[in-house]
Amino acid sequence: MQCDFVVALPKKINNFATYKSDVIMNEEKNSLNFIEQIIEDDLANGLAQDKLRFRFPPEPNGYLHIGHAASICLNFGLGLRYNAPVNLRFDDTNPAKEEQEYVDSIKHDVQWLGFTWDKELYSSDYFQQLYDWAVEIIKNGKAYVDDQSSEEMALQKGTPTEPGTDSKNRNRSVEENLALFLKMKNGDFEEGSHVLRAKIDMKHVNMHMRDPIMYRILKRHHHRTGNDWCIYPMYDWTHGESDYLEQISHSICTLEFKSHRDLYDWYIDQVYDPAKLRPKQREFARRNLSYTVMSKRKLLQLVEEGIVTGWDDPRMPTISGLRRRGYTPESIRTFSETAGISKRDNVTDVALLEYCIKDDLNKTAPRVMAVLDPVKVVITNYPKGNEEWLTAENNQEDESAGFREVPFSREIYIEKEDFREEANKKFFRLKLGNEVRLKNAYIIKAESVVKDENGEITEIHCTYDTESLSGSGTEASQRKVKGTLHWVSIKHAVKAEVRVYDRLFTEEAPDSNKEKDFKDFLNPDSLTVLEAFVEPSLKEANVLDRFQFQRLGYFCVDKDTTEFHLVFNRTVPLRDSWAKMEE
C-alpha cells in the first residue's frame, strides 16, 4: 500500500496531551466527520431520520483487528448518534476460508468493545434470494454463463487504458443461459469450468464494469448452509443486494471499494423498487497502524507459521490480542475517535494507541509493587524476624480506590538498575552513602555491598531511619530525599512470570516495501520473559485484571496463570523507550 503520509506525532509522551487536545479542539470547531456530514446532507434533503440504518459487515475469515475497530466505532457510533439500528452482518460467501470459530470471536469482540447490534445476519441467508434474482437478470438478458478459462477471460478484460473484448459466450440465448446456470447450481460442472457474468460493457472505463463474475462453482462445505450450494455469489453481487435487502441507508466501506461503487449501483438497479430505500455506498480510508500489519491474510500467516502463539498473542494488533495485553475497550474507542476517519490512506502512530491506554489505566489501574530484575537489600538495623504491614494507597488518581496493606521486613528486593556503587549527582536512586525513600515505607541509606566471586553484587547492606515511616506524621517522615524506589519484602514476595513485549516489527510500515517480505522486518526481541517478584496482594488477582507496577508500567494478568503460577503481560511501559532511542 502506498502511504500518503504518516500522522506525525511528537516523540515525547508529554506532548501527546497537547496533541490530543488539539484534535479534540478541532473536532469541537467542526464536530462532524465527513461521513456524518454526508448523512446530515441526506437528512436535509428529505431522508427521514427513522430510515437511517447501518451495518458492520465482517467476513468471518479471521479475528478482528484494530483496523476493524475503526469501522465498528464508526458504524456503531453513527447508530448511537442518530438512534438508528446497526446490523452485524457476516459476509460469508467464501466457504473456503470461513469458519464458525471466527464468527464467535467476532461477536465476542464487538460486544467487548461495548456495542450492541440490532440483528445478527448472514449473507448466506440470502443465497436463495440472490439466486432467484440472478435468474431474473438472465431472463432480462443482462447475465450470461461463460465457460472460457480464467486466463482467456483475463486477456479479454483489457487494461485501464485499453478496452476489453467480448467473450464468445456473451450472446448466448436466454434459454441456453438459464439451462447452463441451472446445471451449475445442480453440480453438473467442475469447479472453475463455468461462471455467471453480468453483461454490462467490456469497453467501460471502469474495469469492474467489464462483465464481472457474479457466481463461481465451489464444491465446498459452508459453515452455515452445509452442502446446499455448490455455486457461491461474488462479493460485489452479494454486498449491495444484502444492503438493499436489509434497507441499509449508508453502506460504509474502505477506500479500495470506491472503484466498485459503479458496480454496486448497477447491481442494485437490477432489482430496485422505487418504493424502497436505496442504499448508498460511501468510503473512508483504512486504518493502518505503525510497526504492525493489519491484513487478515498476513496475520493468519503469523499464526500458522508459529511466529506468534495465536490470534490473541499480546503482540498481535487483533482486538483479542490487545485485550489479552491489557487494553481496555474504552482505550480502543478513544483511540478510534481520536485518530478519526480520513479520506486518504495514512498510517496512525502506534504511540497514540499507547497514549490512550496509559491515559485510561492511569485513572483506573490499582498501583502495586513488583520488582522485575531483583537485587537483595538487607536492612541491618531492622530487627531480625520482625515484620510490619504498611498502609499503601491503591491509586492516588482515584480516592475511592482505597488502601491496602503491604508487608515490610528486614530483607527486600529492589531493581538492580536502581542501585549503583558510584554515580554522578543526577542519579537520584540508591548509591553508596546516599539515602532514598522506599515507597510507602522508610528512608534507607546504602552502607556497603557484598559481591560474589565474579564481582556481581549479591547484597546491598543498608540502614534505615526508624522515624521516617511514610504517613506516620513524624518530622522524619516529612524529610525530603531525592529518590523514591519500589520494593518487595523477600519473605512475602510472590514469584511471577512477566512477559515484556516490544513491537512485533522493526519497520514503521513493514508491508509497504515492495522488494521485501513483511516478515523480513520481524523484531527478534518482541518478547522477553522475566522471573519477577510481586507483592502478595497479587495472589488474589484474576485473569485480565490490570495493575500499574509502580515506576514500571501497566501489567495485566495473563490467561496462562494457574493457582501456582502467576503470569503478567506488560501492556505498556510508563515511559516510551522507543521515543528515547529516536531522540
CB of 104 to ligand ATP, least distance (A): 15
Phi, psi dihedrals of residue 396, rounded to the nearest 5°: -65, -15
429 interacts with, out of Mg ion, ligand ATP, none, CB within 5 to 8 A per kind:
none
Phi, psi dihedrals of residue 102, rounded to the nearest 5°: -70, -40
> DSSP 3-state assignment of 38?
helix
Say whether residue 223 binds ligand ATP (CB under 6 A).
no
Determine the residue with CB nearest ligand ATP: 67
211 interacts with, out of ligand ATP, Mg ion, none, CB within 5 to 8 A per kind:
none
Decide the pairing of beta strands 443-451 and 457-464.
Answer: antiparallel
Q: How many CB atoms lie within 10 A of CB 145?
A: 22
Q: Please report, to the nearest 10 degrees, the dihedral formed by the alpha carbons of residues 550, 555, 558, 561 taken in order.
A: 0
Say whether residue 254 binds ligand ATP (CB under 6 A).
yes
295 interacts with, out of Mg ion, ligand ATP, none, CB within 5 to 8 A per kind:
ligand ATP
Using CB under 5 A, which residues numbered 197 to 256 contact Mg ion? none
Which of 20, 27, 36, 59 is labelled catalytic?
Answer: 59
Toward Mg ion, which CB reaches closer, 59 or 447?
59
Toward ligand ATP, which CB reaches closer, 225 or 295?
295
Stretch that binds Mg ion, among 34-42, 57-65, 176-184, 494-502 (CB under 5 A): 57-65
Helix axes 127-139, 174-186, angle to 10 degrees: 160
Using CB under 6 A as the criterion, what x/- string covers residues 292-331 for binding ligand ATP?
--xxx-----------------------------------
Q: Rounded to an integer, what distance in angstroms lies between the CA atom of residue 511 and that of residue 27?
A: 31
Handedness of CA 39, 43, 44, 47 (dihedral sign): positive
Stretch that binds ligand ATP, among 63-71, 192-200, 501-509, 510-518 (CB under 6 A): 63-71
Which of 286, 410, 429, 437 is labelled catalytic?
Answer: 286
> DSSP 3-state assignment of 185?
helix
Binding residue for ligand ATP (CB under 6 A) from 39, 88, 214, 253?
Answer: 253
Q: Rounded to an integer, what distance in angstroms lies between the CA atom of residue 108 and that of residue 473?
A: 51
Using CB under 6 A, which residues numbered 71 to 90 contact ligand ATP? 71
CB of 70 to ligand ATP, least distance (A): 4
CB of 162 to Mg ion, least distance (A): 29
Please name which of 140, 131, 106, 132 lies closest in space to residue 120, comparing C-alpha atoms: 106
398: which residues sit within 8 A by CB, 6+ positions away? 363, 364
What's 57-106 look like in SS3? CCCCCCCCEHHHHHHHHHHHHHHHHHCCCEEEEECCCCCCCCCHHHHHHH
Residue 171 grid cell = 450472446
How many binding residues for ligand ATP (CB under 6 A)? 15
Q: Is 515 a catalytic residue?
A: no
Please name which of 95, 93, 196 lies closest in space to residue 143, comparing C-alpha atoms: 196
Q: Is 296 a catalytic residue?
A: yes
Binding residue for Mg ion (CB under 5 A) from 27, 42, 59, 545?
Answer: 59
> DSSP 3-state assignment of 318?
strand
Using CB under 6 A, which residues numbered 278 to 297 contact ligand ATP? 286-287, 294-296
Decide the pairing of beta strands 120-122 and 86-90.
Answer: parallel
CB of 214 to Mg ion, least distance (A): 18
Say whether residue 97 binds Mg ion (CB under 5 A).
no
Toward ligand ATP, which CB reaches closer, 248 or 498?
248
70 interacts with, out of ligand ATP, Mg ion, none, CB within 5 to 8 A per kind:
ligand ATP
Decide the pairing of beta strands 488-489 and 346-348.
Answer: unpaired
286 interacts with, out of Mg ion, ligand ATP, none, CB within 5 to 8 A per kind:
ligand ATP
CB of 61 to Mg ion, least distance (A): 8
CB of 94 to ligand ATP, least distance (A): 10
Please name which of 489, 55, 89 lies closest in space to residue 253, comparing C-alpha atoms: 55
Please name which of 451, 437, 375 lies closest in space to residue 411, comparing C-alpha atoms: 375
Q: Rounded to an integer, what distance in angstroms lies between the CA atom of residue 496 and that of residue 371?
A: 10
CB of 295 to ligand ATP, least distance (A): 4
Say whether residue 295 binds Mg ion (CB under 5 A).
no
Binding residue for ligand ATP (CB under 6 A) from 27, 36, 42, 59?
Answer: 59
Please name which of 531, 534, 511, 530 lies closest in space to residue 521, comparing C-alpha atoms: 511
Toward ligand ATP, which CB reaches closer, 57 or 77?
57
Which of 296, 315, 367, 431 is labelled catalytic?
Answer: 296
Rounded (5°) CA angle 375-377-381: 175
Q: Is 261 a catalytic residue?
A: no
CB of 85 to ligand ATP, least distance (A): 17
Say whether residue 233 binds ligand ATP (CB under 6 A).
no
Using CB under 6 A as the criterion, what x/- string covers residues 28-57 for binding ligand ATP?
-----------------------------x
Contact at 8 Å (CB) between 468 and 479?
yes
Toward ligand ATP, which CB reaches closer, 67 or 164?
67
Toward ligand ATP, which CB reaches closer, 144 or 327?
327
What residues are paired with 567 via a beta bridge? 497
Q: What DSSP line would sit under 446-469, residue for residue? A: EEEEEE-TTS-EEEEEEEE-TT--
Binding residue for ligand ATP (CB under 6 A) from 58, 79, 366, 573?
Answer: 58
Q: List residues binding ligand ATP (CB under 6 A).
A: 57-59, 67-68, 70-71, 91, 253-254, 286-287, 294-296
Which positions are catalytic?
A: 59, 286, 296
Q: List residues binding Mg ion (CB under 5 A).
A: 59
